[in-house]
Amino acid sequence: MAKSLGKNLTEGSIPRHLLSLAVPMLLSNLIATGYSIVDAIWVGRFVGRDALGAVAASAPVVFIFVGVAAGATMATTVLVSQFYGARNFEMAGKVINVSFALSIILSIISTVGGILAAGGILRALGTPPEVFPYAVPYLKITFLSFPVQYMIFLVTSILRGVGDTKTPLYFMMVGFVINAILDPLMIIGIGPFPTMGLNGAAWATVISSSVALALGVAYLRRKGGALVAGINFRRLDFRVAKLIIKIGLPSMIQQSSIAFGMAAVTFFVNSFGAVAIAAFGAAGRIDAVIFLPAQSIGLAVAAISGQNIGAGRYDRIHGIFKWGLLMTLSISLFFSILFLTIPGVLLAPFTTDPDVIAIGSGCLRILGPSITFLAVMLVSNGVINGAGHTLTTLIFTLIAVWGLRIPGAAILSRGSMGITGIWVSYAIAFCVMMCVSLLWYRSGRWKKPVVKHDVNAVFD
């Protein structure tokens, strides 16, 4: 890999490295989430409650496919960061080349399958009949953007692995501005654009994301040299592909299981009607924003841990964990207070419907304190993932989501708690997930190597 790409994270101040990675990553993630927030605001205000419900009904389906992309590209971050830390640029370049090929194949298969199955999936989720006509075409158009979204994840994961989180911020910002401009033009129908309503929001995302991807790929080609100049299937190293799948598959299943869990929760929420799903959608947008600081710090911990483990600097890992924990707790406690005290104010930009705000406020008041549990877990999982032990965090997630959250939501929502039982199941699952992850980190089992960094021993 071109040495001008990225920076060495195995030396220097740990908190400075965390901030230099996490802050741009947070801003990039905020911008990415901003796509859906801007869409929801325009749709909720100008198209109506049922259209807003359609966005919420589609969200878990989209989240499943986004989870596939995020999980699959986690392997790229882990391997690139470890080989970069070991200064094994040859192997890092092979990982990038194979990752592009695998991403193209997987994203095309997922997109075609998603478009063909969109209606059936929404029916299986119990989408309310008044929401269904909006949700089907919106979801199909959204699937068209999936190859673009997948490749954006990949470019970002490569740059994150070499310690560069600032550059993705720039091209994501350009895409966000374009989306914000196109949204009202295509939803309402201004100037040369016809009135497309909810579908206009989906098309605006397709166009703006494509521009962001083009900028990201152009930068990678310019800075990465011949190694990332293009995909050459004749030069693919299938041993590298096997290694990527070995690390990426558990992470992909982990993210997908969370997404399928969200789909199951949506099924339970749908049983309470269109107002409930609209409230869940609005509260989910806010929760997604507040989740991002913890997620960004966790990803930064994974990238820094990966480079230091690749360089054999195990002495720095506890410091990385400690500083990540301090940062994420400070931020998550602040936002938890906001969730508890002013949930109605936070929901106001999305809707003026008092019933939607009432249900959404109840959701936020319970999710607020539980964010702290999730934030701590993301830091300890960051170290574990950075070491390449993605199968371990997969097991944690399966226990939390399918052993606790889904059964809890099914049982509690059918009792006297009603819909509140769904939110309580989230809090229980986050708490258990945090405790298990912390115990595993403290055990030191993550120190067992998953990847060999000697070029001659990688595949032994």
Residue 228: predicted pLDDT = 58
Looking at per-residue confidence, does 157 or 44 come out higher?
157
- How much is the average pLDDT of 323-351? 87
Closest CA to 77 of 96, 102, 103, 104: 96
Report residue 435: phi and psi, to 5°.
-60, -45
Helix (H) or strand (E) holding 224: helix 198-224
Residue 439 CA to residue 170 CA, distance in Å, equals 38
What is the 3 state secondary structure string of 266-312?
A: HHHHHCCCHHHHHHHHHHHHHHHHHHHHHHHHHHHHHHHHHHHHHCC
pLDDT digits (tens, 9 = 90+) for 356-379: 888 888 888 888 888 889 899 999
Q: What residues contact residue 142 under an 8 Å CB cut-off, 6+ apart?
A: 58, 62, 202, 205
Q: What residues contact residue 207 under an 8 Å CB cut-off, 6+ apart?
A: 178, 179, 182
Residue 1: predicted pLDDT = 44
The alpha carbon of residue 142 and the mean position of all alpha carbons in its chain are separated, in whole angstroms, by 16
Alpha-carbon separation of residue 426 from 61, 273, 398, 438 (angstroms): 19, 20, 14, 18
Report residue 68: phi and psi, to 5°.
-60, -45
Mean of the per-residue pLDDT values of the chain: 81
Res. 175 pLDDT band, cuts 50 70 90: confident
Residue 169: predicted pLDDT = 83
Residue 384 CA to residue 325 CA, distance in Å, equals 14
Residue 73 CA to residue 249 CA, distance in Å, equals 10
The amino acid occupying position 176 is F
Give the residue extent of every domain in the chain: 14-447
Residue 2: predicted pLDDT = 47
pLDDT digits (tens, 9 = 90+) for 258-302: 777 777 887 888 888 878 888 887 787 777 777 788 888 998 898
